[in-house]
Amino acid sequence: MRIGVLAASSVANPDVIAPVSAFAAIAFPEIDLVFHPQCYAHEGHFAGSDAVRAAAFLEYANDPAFDGIWFLRGGYGSNRLLATIMPRLGEAARRKTYLGYSDVGFLLGALYARRIGHPVHGPMASDIRRNGGDATVARALGWFARRDRAGLEPGLDGRPAAAFNLSILAALVGTPYLPDLADHVLIVEEVSEAMYAIDRMLFTLGNATQLRSLAGVRLGAVTAVKENEPAWGEPLDAMMRRWCGELGVPYLGRAEVGHTQTNRVVPFGVA
């Protein structure tokens, strides 16, 4: 199995290439990780210009020699590629698994909206640097190699599901890249936002008519919350219940996804 690795968003951290390659070679010898030279590119905030990042994605996505694409890291910037890459994906791209999270949710959502390939929310190569990072990336590599269900989010119950970073999902509302999530359980998570900003994103989502046919909503990890001044008085679960009430869908509790070492795998659709 050949898995192409590239960086679709912010400047990558190529120092993770050696440790993640070594781990994969020992724990998943059936996987050949191929890192695109674009992983070393650097243009301001981004891992190369929009054109460079788009070309790398299209090269690997349209190459039938690759079984999947694994993203090196998130950050910001994959949304800037969508108008270029989506019309140019060929038949080989439709047979691949695409795995990542955070900013990569723009790509996962757009692919799922067009039923191209198999988008999966799960750990990225850079997660090897987390505390216990071997176990974290093993969930992603296990899904690629063996469809190993041990790495799946444990609350998946056979209903279609999808997982997004909250800010990415809010940014997709009103665009042609938001997938139809009717009858799906939606899992959301967030990192590095103040509570008022989370509440504002929930307002956007609570008024999105495209989400009113969800089967339910679950909340993943919300980490590195920025200080709110004055202090925010409403607990997260209360916010979620209020938002789900406005949306008219059930709140189904917590989930093991997010910007943490315990981030689990959530295939879009039915696992």
Residues 220-235 have pLDDT tens digits of: 999 999 999 999 999 9
What pLDDT does residue 157 have? 96
| Beta strands 2-6 and 97-100, pairing class | unpaired
C-alpha–C-alpha distance, residues 121 and 17, integer Å: 20
C-alpha–C-alpha distance, residues 211 and 58, integer Å: 30
Mean pLDDT across 72-93: 98
Say if CB 168 and CB 106 are below 8 A apart. yes
Give the percent of the chain with pLDDT over 70: 100
What pLDDT does residue 271 have? 87
pTM for the structure as a whole: 0.97
3-state secondary structure of 186: strand
**Which residues face 187 on adjacent strands?**
163, 218
Give the model confidence (pLDDT) of 239-260 as tens digits: 999 999 989 999 999 999 999 9
The alpha carbon of 7 is separated from its chain's Cα centroid by a whole number of angstroms, namely: 13
The alpha carbon of 164 is separated from its chain's Cα centroid by a whole number of angstroms, namely: 6
2-151 and 161-267 agree in CATH topology: no
Superfamily of domain 2-151: Murein tetrapeptidase LD-carboxypeptidase, N-terminal domain (3.40.50.10740)
Mean pLDDT across 19-29: 98
What pLDDT does residue 248 have? 92
Using the 8-state DSSP alphabet, how is residue 226 labeled?
B
What pLDDT does residue 7 have? 98
CA distances from 236 to 4, 56, 194, 261 (A): 37, 39, 12, 21
**Which residues face 201 on adjacent strands?**
none
3-state secondary structure of 264: coil
The model's confidence at residue 153, banded by pLDDT at 50, 70 and 90, is very high
The model's confidence at residue 93, banded by pLDDT at 50, 70 and 90, is very high
Using the 8-state DSSP alphabet, how is residue 117 labeled?
S
What pLDDT does residue 265 have? 98
Position 176 pLDDT exceeds 90: yes
What pLDDT does residue 155 have? 98
What torsion, rounded to 10 degrees, do the Cα atoms 122, 126, 131, 132 define? 60
Give the percent of the chain with pLDDT over 90: 97
Write down the domain spans for the chain: 2-151, 161-267
Query: In this structure, which CATH number among 1.20.1250.20, 3.50.30.60, 3.30.1490.20, 2.60.120.10 belongs to the domain 161-267?
Result: 3.50.30.60
Within 8 A by CB and 6+ apart from 230, the residues are none
